[in-house]
Amino acid sequence: MKKDDGKIAKLLSIVDLTDLEPARRVSLIGHDNFMERRKFLKSLLGAGIVIGLPFLTSCNKSNPVSEENKDFPLIIRTTPSQNSTVLLDDDQNVEVKIVFDHEMDETSMLSSVVITPQPVDTVHVTTVNDPTNTAEPCTITIYTQNNKCKLLYSQNYSITVKGTAKDKKGAFLDGNKDGQGGDDFVLTFTTDVKPVWPKVLNTVPAAGAMVAVATNEMNGVEIFYNKEMEPNSVAAAISISPEPTGGHVIVSGKTNDTKGAYKSYIFSPNSNTLLITPGTQYSVTVKGSAKDTEGYSLDGNGDGVNKDDFTFGFSTKYLPPAIKATIPTEGQTVELSAYCYPIHIDFDREMDLDSINSALTISPPNTSILGLKTRMVQKSNVYELQLYNEEIMSQDHVCILTTGAKYTVTIKGTAKDKHGNFLDGNNDGTGGDDFVLHFSTVAPSSCSCVGNVCSCVGNVCSCVGNSCSSDIGLGCPLNGCSGYWCDCQSAGCPTYRI
């Protein structure tokens, strides 16, 4: 090192070093051994010996370091960048880092960094020197906790690194990059307005709703949000208790649903519905850890502070089984041209057939020698109770209905579904009462016959001899119909009947 030019080494104090080992007796005077002295003094401090340090003063106050240190440290990069607008994260935090082109003195850095307005929490500064990283040998982190700085929304911040910050060699910061050290660097940035937290707008079923089901399944649970949610965080945040039968699956995303733009849907695996147990109170929670696609956490209770849970509950119960439709319809007059006629009663769910058979009466009674039979057939959205005599004759018709009669079919309220719920015969929402169906029968209006061939227009008719007759009480004796009832469909006398 050169001798100082215009600089004066000033010794403030000294201790008697004669008790130390000769090798460690190093002169405390003179610049040539300055670095060696620093090392030595450090060891003295480590040994509990307190001494005064010499410091350098300058005749030229604008250039407070020795001229051999013209290589003043510069700030080469900042996070946030200069004059930027900063989005604070979920915790109102932002990462603040300042990168220097020199290794910097940690101690000087502690007193050189000032942030205004002052954050609510205590500000810390950590200096990390990395001599192996020649591009960015020193980075300081300014933080309040977890390496991030908690700031306020909608504020103009400035972070000053004073010109008193110095590098490892003692050269002071050239904050304004004019080639001279000892002046401040100022980073200014603005924090953005408070973000809109994600929250739950509504749910289906609604909170506190009673869900009445015909079976052990209901539509999946829908949760609608004000913002698009990040599916994985939402899936991890949603729970339903008790666990639905066979577990549950959650999907989240955009929707065309008029109920909301963004939703989560909870349903059962291998189903679009949710398998539940009627008579159960369910609770659904979306934890505050659910995040939107911007990374902001849920404001579950909607109070403007995020990171709290949303919870709602609903109950389930069985609806009593109900009848959705019948053939014939209530009060219908049936043109009984075919001797037989279908009687169908559609239930909203599968019924216990034994209980129906015990509860079923038809008046006047069916007198077919084949006896009256019943069965339940699953259709698209109903279970159809079919009354019939003999399947091979006519798929599902009840025969020997009398023309000109008034029929009454009754199913008592003792009929029940597979879960033991009694029939709601009068469809008032409460089970245990009778269902009654009335209809009348009349003879067919007309049909025509050519030779032995019956042809009917609009109606099905029976044939007697060579003529068509509406008298279904007689047989068709000719042309293979002898002894049998027959009816003609679109043409001919095609179907035998016992």
176 binds Ca ion (CB under 5 A): yes
Contact with Ca ion (CB under 5 A): which of 63, 66, 112, 180? 180
Q: How far is the CB of 181 from Ca ion (least distance, A)?
A: 6
Contact with Ca ion (CB under 5 A): which of 32, 130, 391, 428? 428
Contact with Ca ion (CB under 5 A): which of 68, 89, 308, 309? 308
DSSP letters for 329-371: PTTEEEE-TTS-EEEEEEESS-B-HHHHHHHEEEESPP--TT-
- Identify whether the C-beta of residue 431 lies closer than 8 Å to the C-beta of residue 422: yes
Q: How far is the CB of 77 from Ca ion (least distance, A)?
A: 18
340: nearest Cα among 389, 392, 407? 389
**Nearer Cβ to Ca ion (117/429):** 429
Q: How far is the CB of 323 from Ca ion (least distance, A)?
A: 11
- Identify whether the C-beta of residue 389 lies closer than 8 Å to the C-beta of residue 416: no
124: nearest Cα among 102, 139, 109, 103? 109
∠ CA 205-211-214, nearest 5°, is: 130
Tally of CA atoms within 13 A in the half-sphere of 489 that contains its CB: 4
DSSP letters for 156-197: EEEEEE-TT-BBTTSPBPBTT-SS--SB-EEEEEEEPPPPPP
Q: How far is the CB of 330 from Ca ion (least distance, A)?
A: 16
Q: How far is the CB of 295 from Ca ion (least distance, A)?
A: 17
- Compute how many residues bind Ca ion; rule: CB under 5 A: 15
CA distances from 461 to 156, 335, 392, 457, 489 (A): 94, 10, 19, 9, 8
106 binds Ca ion (CB under 5 A): no
305 binds Ca ion (CB under 5 A): yes
101 binds Ca ion (CB under 5 A): no
**Nearer Cβ to Ca ion (173/336):** 173
Contact with Ca ion (CB under 5 A): which of 303, 354, 391, 471? 303
Residue 173 dihedral angles phi and psi, to the nearest 5°: -55, 135
**Nearer Cβ to Ca ion (67/303):** 303
Cα–Cα distance, 57 to 9 (Å, whole number): 7
424 binds Ca ion (CB under 5 A): yes
Place of tokens 């000769």: 22
284: nearest Cα among 304, 303, 260, 309? 309
Q: Which of these ranges, 120-128, 323-331, 431-439, 453-461, lies near Ca ion under the rule CB under 5 A? A: 431-439
Q: How far is the CB of 301 from Ca ion (least distance, A)?
A: 4
* Helix%, strand%, coil% for the chain, nearest 5: 10, 40, 55
Q: Which of these ranges, 47-55, 57-65, 430-438, 469-477, lies near Ca ion under the rule CB under 5 A? A: 430-438
Contact with Ca ion (CB under 5 A): which of 430, 445, 466, 467? 430
Contact with Ca ion (CB under 5 A): which of 89, 294, 433, 434? 433
**Nearer Cβ to Ca ion (175/244):** 175
What residue ranges bind Ca ion (CB under 5 A)? 174, 176, 178, 180, 183, 299, 301, 303, 305, 308, 424, 426, 428, 430, 433
